[in-house]
Amino acid sequence: MCIICVEFQSNKLTANEALKNVSEMRGNISEEHAKEVLKMIFVDSIRKNRKPKSENEPEADEDWKYGSD
Ligand SMILES: [Zn+2]
C-alpha cells in the first residue's frame, strides 16, 4: 500500500490522477508495486465500465447530423 492506493481507494483520486501519480512516484515505489497500482486502476475502470482517459477525449463530432436529408 502507498499513498496512491489509499487515496484512490477512498475515491480521493480519479483514475487519471492516480495514473499520473504512479508515473510521478515511480522512483518512490517499487516497480512491482507500480504494476499492482496500474492493475488496480485498470480493474476499477473496467468495473465502472469506462476508460481511465475518457475525460481527455474530444467531444464526438456531430457534423454528420447536418449532412443528412
Ligand atoms: Zn500502493
21: in domain: yes
In b/e form, how buried is each residue of 22-54, taking b as 16+ CB within 10 angstroms?
beebeeebeeebbebbbebbeeebeeeeeebee
Residue 19 CA to ligand 1 center (angstroms) comes to 12
Around Cβ 19, how many Cβ atoms within 10 Å? 20
Residue 66 CA to ligand 1 center (angstroms) comes to 49
Residue 2 CA to ligand 1 center (angstroms) comes to 3
23: in domain: yes
How many domains, in total, are found in the chain? 1
pLDDT, tens digit (0-9, with 9 covering 90-100), for 14-64: 999 999 999 999 899 999 999 999 999 999 988 887 655 655 556 665 555
pTM of the model: 0.66
Tell me which residue range forms the domain holding 32.
3-49
Strand ranges (E), the chain = none
Q: What confidence score (pLDDT) does residue 48 get?
A: 83
